[in-house]
Amino acid sequence: MKEGGLRKIVAANWKMYKTRGEAEKTASELRVSMTEETAGGRRVVIFPSFTNIAAVAGVFAGHPSVSVGAQNFYPAVEGAFTGETSLNMLRDLGATWALTGHSERRHILGETDELVARKTAFALQEGFSVMLCIGETLAQREAGELDKVLSRQTESALAALPPDSLGRLAIAYEPVWAIGTGKVAGPTEALEAHAAVRALVLKLLGDAGRSVPILYGGSVKPDNAATLLELDNVDGLLVGGASLNSQSFLQIVNA
Catalytic residues: 102, 174
Q: How many CA atoms lie within 13 A of 151 on its CB side?
A: 6
43-47 and 9-13 as β-strands: parallel, antiparallel, unpaired? parallel
CA distance 94 to 70: 10
Give the 3-state DSSP-derived string for the chain, with helices as H, strands as E and coil as C: CCCCCCCCEEEEECCCCCCHHHHHHHHHHHHHHCCCCCCCCCEEEEECCHHHHHHHHHHCCCCCCEEEEECCCCCCCCCCCCCCCCHHHHHHHCCCEEEECCHHHHHCCCCCHHHHHHHHHHHHHCCCEEEEEECCCHHHHHCCCHHHHHHHHHHHHHCCCCCCCHHHEEEEECCHHHCCCCCCCCHHHHHHHHHHHHHHHHHHHHHHHHHCCEEEECCCCHHHHHHHHCCCCCCEEEECHHHCCHHHHHHHHCC
β-partners of residue 239 are 12
